[in-house]
Amino acid sequence: MRRCAVWVGLGLGVAGAACGAGEGRAPVARIVATPPAIPEHDDFRTEVALDGTASADPIDDPDGEAPLDHEWEIRGDEFRFVDGDEIDPAPTITLRGTTPATVRLTVTDESGLSNTATLRMQLTVTSAEPTE
pLDDT of residue 45: 97
pLDDT over threshold 70, residue 3: no
pLDDT of residue 23: 73
Determine contact, residues 47/82, Cβ cutoff 8 Å.
yes
Tell me the pLDDT band of 98, cut-offs 50, 70 and 90: very high
CATH topology (fold) of 3-124: Immunoglobulin-like (2.60.40)
The ranges assigned to domains in the chain are 3-124
* pTM of the full structure: 0.79
CA 118-78-76 angle, to 5 degrees, is 40
Name the 3-class secondary structure at 130.
coil
- Position with higher pLDDT, 3 vs 37: 37
Taking only the tens place, the pLDDT of each residue in 24-79 is: 899 999 999 999 999 999 999 999 999 999 999 999 999 999 999 999 999 999 99
pLDDT of residue 128: 60
Taking only the tens place, the pLDDT of each residue in 80-91 is: 999 999 999 999
